[in-house]
């Protein structure tokens, strides 16, 4: 296959990785089953998913800034809510980020984190770690799974 035909396949992997509910869990195995290079497939799916997650965080951060400015005009913040947010950032964010892409999708997970008041930079760090980890897991599982099934075919 020529370079441009193959490049379009990886661009498609990137774009499909960016689509909510398709994401890395489906794109990586399908790309590897289609015969694409596992490392490039995993990398492109990871980058596609991460790009839309980052875009989502920036979008919701702008909305949160607008809401905070509106709240500030109405009154001062509550100490209980500040403490709850601090606890959420310390304990809830890592769990949601690590399990979210597998259970509910990375886009919904990052949305929930931002709505619950997670700090933008922490949410992005944890989601980046999570997506990198899951991309590696799905890439390795797909590579070895395809090899394993092909060994039965002879």
Three-class SS string for 117-142?
CCCHHHHHHHHHHHHHHHHHHHHHHH
pLDDT for residue 3: 63
d(CA 41, CA 31): 6
Tell me the pLDDT band of 80, cut-offs 50, 70 and 90: low
How do residues 9-68 score in pLDDT, each as one tens digit?
999 999 999 998 888 999 999 999 999 999 999 999 999 999 999 999 988 878 877 777
Parent domain of 86: 3-153
Q: Check residue 89 and report its DSSP letter.
A: I
Q: Structural domain tally of the chain?
A: 1
Percentage above 90 pLDDT, the chain: 47
Mean pLDDT (whole number) for 121-148: 92
Backbone φ, ψ for residue 76 (5° rounding) = -85, 155
Question: Is the model's pTM score more than 0.75?
Answer: yes
């Amino acid at each position: 296959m020529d370079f441009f035909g193959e490049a379009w396949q990886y661009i498609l992997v990137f774009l499909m990785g960016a689509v909510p509910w398709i994401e890395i869990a489906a794109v990586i195995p399908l790309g590897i089953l289609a015969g694409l290079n596992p490392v490039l497939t995993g990398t492109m799916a990871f980058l596609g998913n991460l790009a839309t997650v980052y875009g989502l965080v920036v979008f919701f951060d702008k909305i949160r800034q607008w809401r905070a400015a509106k709240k500030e005009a109405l009154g001062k913040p509550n100490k209980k809510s500040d403490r709850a947010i601090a606890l959420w950032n310390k304990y809830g964010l890592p769990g949601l980020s690590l399990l979210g892409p597998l259970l509910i999708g990375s886009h919904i997970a990052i949305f929930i984190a931002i709505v619950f008041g997670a700090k933008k930079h922490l949410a992005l760090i944890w989601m980046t770690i999570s997506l990198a980890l899951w991309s590696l897991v799905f890439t390795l599982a797909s590579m070895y799974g395809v090899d394993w099934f092909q060994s039965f075919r002879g």
